[in-house]
Structure formats: C-alpha cells, structure tokens
Structure 1
C-alpha cells in the first residue's frame, strides 16, 4: 500500500494544472464616454459584450460595437469612440471664451457680478446630456441706495437729476454747507453694499495767507486769511511760463490747492550753427535775444556721413534746460565762416532720418 500515496498526490497536481490553465478575459479597455455599467471584472472565453456610449456622448460609428473574449484572454478590437455633446456658449459670454463657441458636456459656467451689482438668477449652469444648459444666463442688476441725507446746515447736489426715491450704484453727489462753513468731506456716492455715504459735518474753515511763488506773483489778492472756496490767482514774471492752474482755492481741509510753477526760459547753448525755431530757419547769431520759452521746440541739424546728407533733430526747452542732440557737431570757426554751405543744415536733407539719438545737457556758451 505504500506506493499509492505519492501517485495520488501527483494526480492532484496534474488536475489542478489542467483547471487553472483555462484563459479568461479581464475588464475590457474602454475610453472616456463608453458606458461601463454592464462590464464585469472577469469574463469567460467566448463571452460577448456590446459597447455603447454613456448619456451625453455621441458614438463615432452608427452600428453597435460587439467585442468577444478570445481563447488567448484578449478582447477583439473595437473602433467605437465616444465624444461629448456640445452646448453653445451664450453669445454675451463668447468675447470671454477666447474664440470658442461651444463647451463640452459636463462643463460648468460660474457667474459673478461686478461690485455694486447683484445677480438675478442661478450663479452657475451645467452643460447637460442633451446639449442644453441647466440654467439660463442670469442678469446683473445695479445695487440701489436710499436718497442721501443732507448735512446739518447744508444741502446735497446730485451729479445727475434724481428720479424716484433711490439712487443707483456709482451715482455721486456733492455736499455743500451754508457759508462760511465747509463740509468735512465734499463727495458722496451710492456704495457697493447698498448704502449711501453718511453726511459730513459742516464747520468753519479758513486757509492761511497765500504764499508767493518763485519767479511769479499773486494778482488782485488781499494778504489775509481766506475762507472755504475763496480763490487767489498767480502770474509769472516776463518770459516765464505758468505750469499748473493759475488759480488756487481754499479747500475744506484748511489748505490751499496746488500752487502753479513758473518755468524758466532756455538759452540755445551753441556758438555756431543754424537752427529751426518759431517757424524760421535761423543762424544762431540771428537769434536775438538768445531765448527760448519753456515748452518750445528747437530743431538742430546733424550729419549723416554715410549718405552725405543732413537731418533734423528736435529738442524741447524744459524749465531752463535745452538739451543738445548728441549727433550735433558744432562747426569750427573757419568752417563756419568760409564754408557755411557745407554744414548739415545747408546740404541736401536725407530721405529718412536715422533713429533718434540721445541728447546731452545744455552746453556752455
């Protein structure tokens, strides 16, 4: 009886090998959009499956696609591909969609309104399986504020005529106090949270005696303290140009508005050469007096050596400084006196000027 046990064990091993050698197919490979609800983790040889697209996807082929589990444990091939249905992007949003006019199934549009506006409708919409949006495009409606209250001993002056009992977001107004008082702040508006600016406090305000300005003077003013909104006017000495508002006003803070500045004239800092100024072509010796006002332009002439032609370069007087173009070369005394027709200002002008060259500060006379 002894040899019987090994033989029995050998038969069991052979039987196990025969059973486990049978091939099966795992879950078939699928791409996005294919319905996986009927698929199993293990399929028998010869078993067939019909592949379809999920709801919200379109098949690439008209006929149903069947695949079979083969004896090798592989599935037969399928050429089914599923593409998502598309929802048209609402026309008001297309400028923000970077050229796209459609969005795929399951896309989500999130809506927000700018500050001062409230949304009316859903704040999001989803692309549905049938190619439509779950919610219509909402509206953004401006916030309304109550009519502003005037300050004590003052009034409210609206920027636009007031209609009804409310104002809209962004609308503004000015607070005014009965003279000689001034409001602690002058402007108010309908704010994003739906509230109107609180009224200011009216109080007496005065500004100190106005100060003078360099190279200028105060016109028609008494040297005293001034009340709210009173004005003082400035002017400049001869040949100086006023830069800024000529009149300053006493503000509600007790300070004056910004004073103007008197900008100085310039001297053309060359001894020899020809310029174009004030619509005239002048030799520098004929510019009498040698003075250019602030903001005025002077044209110098430079030489293009490669083309043997001249070209103009403009410079602007800026508060006493007139930069000389780097390309400008002041001629020597002999050349200027005996051969003036060879200077860049007198020879043929170039068809096109080269790129602008930097300028350097005014040269000493």
Structure 2
C-alpha cells in the first residue's frame, strides 16, 4: 500500500509543476464599482481585459485603457474609476441629513414618525441604479382621538376649537364642574395611542380658613372656609418683602396653593465704617434708619495689605440676615474719628479684587 501512495503524491507534484510553469495572471484587482462578474479566474500571457462599471456607477472615461496580463504575472494599470450615481434627498429631509442634498447608490433612508403620528407608506427607501428612490417618503398623520366625555355635573373647555367627532393628538382641555364642585383632576388630552382618560368625578370641595403668615396679613377677606377656585390675597407688614404669589387659590384637592412668605429687613451690623448702599456712599452713622430691605445689596470695603489699596465686597440682605464679609475690619474709635482718610473706603481702589481665600 505504501508504494502506491508515494506514486500518487509524485503525480500530484508533477501536475502542479506542469500548470504553474506557464506564465498566467490571476483575476485583476479592481476598485469599487467596476464590474467583476465577467472576469475569469486565470488569464494567459498577453490577454487583455477592458474594465467596465457596474450598473449604478458612472465611468470616469468613455474609453478606458485596456489591462494586459504581463510576463511577470501582473496586470497593467487601468485608468477607469467608477463613482456611484446619486439620488437627490427630498428637500424636507435635508436638514436631518446634515445639509447633504444627495445620497449615493445603495444608500437606504429609514423613516420614523414622532409620537402621536401614524406612518402611511413604506418605512424605508433605497437609492436605485438609475438615481431614483424605490419608495417615496411616507406621510406622518396625526393620531385622532374621539371627543372626550364631559364629567357628570360638569363640562369640558377645549384649549383650541374642535369640529366634528374627533380631536387631534396633543389637543388639551380643562374639566369644569358646576358651582361649588371640583373635578378629581383638571386636565386631559388626546394621547399618542389615540385614547383619552375617562372623565373625572365632580364633588364638593372646600378649603379651611386661610392660614396666617408671619409678618403679614390677609387683605379684604372674610375669615371662613372657601370653595374650589376661590382666592385670598396676602400683604406684608411695613418694610417686609413678599416672596411668592400674593394670591392663593383653593385647589381641587381641598388644599390651598403655596402661601407666600414675608421676608424681614436687615440691620447693617457695624458701628464704624463706610458702606455703599442705594447708589450712595454713606458713613454708617448716616444710614438712618439702619435698615436694608430683603434682597437689597450693601457694599463693604476691605483692605488689600500687600497693595495698600481698598476693594469692595458685596453682601445681600436675606430675610433679616446681612452677612459681614470676613475681610472687613471695623476700625477702632480713634482711627475712625481722627484718621478716617486712611480707611479702605477712602484710599485708592485696587485695580482688581484679590482672589477669594478657600473656605
């Protein structure tokens, strides 16, 4: 059995030598877009090939140079380049294509619709060899909902006028109840799935006697329980600032909306020094009364010891508290009385404030 096997191997080697001893070329290397289906696997010395472009590609020249199989087993170069045909991108889609106006052959456009819209047409389109799309852009049609049912003992107020028996996605409305009654929820809308919630329940709702607020009072109101949507108005004592909505409303939950707060004024807590307040530079003794309203700003003056100059630091009154900047040093009585011109507020101002020290 061994001699027969050795003979078979020798025959195979001889056959391979016979085939490969000829000068041949393999299939020529071609760039993208050149037609390959007509090319053979092997070519003999001197054979020629004229390359052509595939369907859907444009040739760079009408008479491309022939490629020849040389004695080295290599091909001469071709001067043909094939570029894909282009399909014009529909104008409404160009902003989504980052400004591009065309797409190359074999490109695919995928379409989606926003929530609340139903697609009519194909959800994708391919660029064909003739520079056209195989499907037109689809339409995105808004979802319609049947008109909502009004609540028992109530009605519906639409945000926009409606006609017919349906309303479009996104349309909203407010539920209203008869006098002294409140809906269990107030708003509804046509949803993305084409449905609307069941109507709310109308029930009697009342809010407790309006609460008092520190440093404030209720204006022109009878101290009693109030019904749904009734309002009361607050005001603050003198020199206090109202923070929040002046009016509160009895809500459908039986609770009042958020009540405002009266913010207290601040006193400037120094005995000696000069400040900048209300567009004026004042000695603290001239601030009469010593009072700054909530939210107002006061400028203190600090000393840059290295540069021997003064710089301003702003502080803000916040509900009765006016922080004194850490850099501010209140002068002594003698310094304040006799050498006032050497205080940081009176000397040359620095070109820039020094960087803040880390906390």
Task: Check whether the contact 1:324–1:359 (CA below 8 A) recurs between aligned residues.
Answer: no
Distance 1:37 1:11 in 2: 34
- Give the CA deviation at 1:306: 7.3
Q: CA deviation at 1:178?
A: 0.8
| Contact 1:52/1:65 (<8 A) preserved | no
Q: Give the Å deviation of 1:251.
A: 1.1
> Which residue number corresponds to residue 284 of structure 2?
284
Q: Distance in 1 between matches of 2:85 and 2:311?
A: 65
**Hey, what does 1:228 align to over in structure 2?**
228
Residue correspondence of structure 1 range 1-365 to structure 2 within 5 A: 17-302=17-302, 310-325=310-325, 328-349=328-349, 353-354=352-353, 357=356
Answer yes or no: is the 8 Å Cα contact 2:86–2:105 preserved in 1: yes
TM-score by length of 2: 0.84
Paired with 1:12 and 1:183, the residues of 2 have a C-alpha distance of: 95
C-alpha separation between the residues in 1 aligned to 2:14 and 2:141?
A: 82
Q: Contact 2:273–2:284 (CA<8 Å) still a contact in 1?
A: yes
Displacement of 1:16: 7.1
The 1:292/1:191 distance shift into structure 2, 3 A limit, reads same
Instruction: Say if 1:273 and 1:139 are closer, same or farther in 2 by CA, change over 3 A.
Output: farther
Distance 1:318 1:359, change over 3 A: farther
Give how far 1:174 is off.
Answer: 0.9
Task: Determine the structure 1 residue equivalent to 2:3.
Answer: none
Deviation at 1:154, TM superposition (A): 0.5
Q: Mind listing any 5+ residue stretches in structure 2 that lack a counterpart?
A: 1-9
**TM-score of the pair, normalised by structure 1:** 0.82
What is the alpha-carbon root mean square deviation over aligned residues?
3.2
Residues 86, 312 of structure 1: alpha-carbon distance in 2 compared, 3 angstrom cutoff: farther
How far is the alpha carbon of 1:202 from its aligned partner? 0.8
